[in-house]
Amino acid sequence: MEERINGQIRAPQLRVIGPDGSLLGVISRDEALTRAEQAGLDLVEISPNAVPPVAKILDYGKFVYEKSKKEKAAKQNAHVVELKCLQVTIGTGEHDLELKAKNASTWLKEGHRVKINLFLKGRAKYLNESFLKERMDRLLHFITEEYKIMDGPKKGPKGLTTVIEKASKK
C-alpha cells in the first residue's frame, strides 16, 4: 500500500509525530503541513486506519529507500521449501538405496521435503501392499537425518508414494 504524503492526506485531524520521534499531539492537517514545510520535510500518513490517523514528519525519499531495504532483506532471509523427488524400484540394490538415502538426508538437512516414489512396472503393480511398504521401508531405513512422514505410503497409478520432512525438534 502506498502511503499518502503532504496534499494527498484527506483527514482533517491528525496525530502527528515530529521528525525527532516526539509526539506533537492531535493537530489539524493544515497546521501539520506547515510544520513539515518549515522543517523542510514531508508529512507522511503512517497509519491511515487509526482514529485519528497517524502522520509523521520525515524525509519521504529516505523513508521509501529504507522501506525497500527492509523488504529486500526480508526476502533474502526467507527460506523456500522445495519438494525433492527420489524414484526407486522394487529391485533397486542396497548400494543404490544408500546413495539415494544419502541424497534424501542432505535435502532434509537443508529443510526441504522429500517425495519418495516406489516405481512399479507391469505385474509389480498388483503385488501385496504390505510387501511394497516393506520395500519402501528399506530406503527409509538408510536415511540418517531425523524425519517425519507427512503423507503416508499411498498407492497411485505409477506405484507407491510417500512424502517426508525434517522432524521438528522440541
pLDDT tens for 100-150 read 999 999 999 988 899 999 888 888 778 878 888 888 888 888 888 888 888
| Domain coordinates in residue numbering, the chain | 6-77, 83-166
The CATH code of the domain at 83-166 is 3.30.110.10
Instruction: Quickly count: other Cβ atoms within 10 Å of residue 115's Cβ.
Output: 16
Tell me the three state secondary structure of residue 10. coil
CATH top-level class of 6-77: alpha beta
Candidates 106, 105, 87, 84; CA nearest to 96 is: 87
Q: Please state the separation of Cα 139 from the chain's center in Å.
A: 29
Q: Could you tell me the pTM of the whole model?
A: 0.54
Task: Report residue 12's pLDDT band, with 50, 70 and 90 as the boundaries.
Answer: confident
Q: Is a pLDDT exceeding 90 seen at residue 3?
A: no
**What distance in Å separates the CA atoms of residue 149 and residue 160, rounded to the nearest whole number?**
14
Phi, psi of 80 (to 5 degrees): -90, 125
pLDDT tens per residue across span 77-98: 777 778 899 998 888 888 998 9
Q: Which residue has the cell 539415494?
A: 100
Distance (Å, whole) CA 83 – CA 78: 16
Residue 9: how many other CB atoms lie within 10 Å:
19
Average pLDDT over residues 25-51: 88
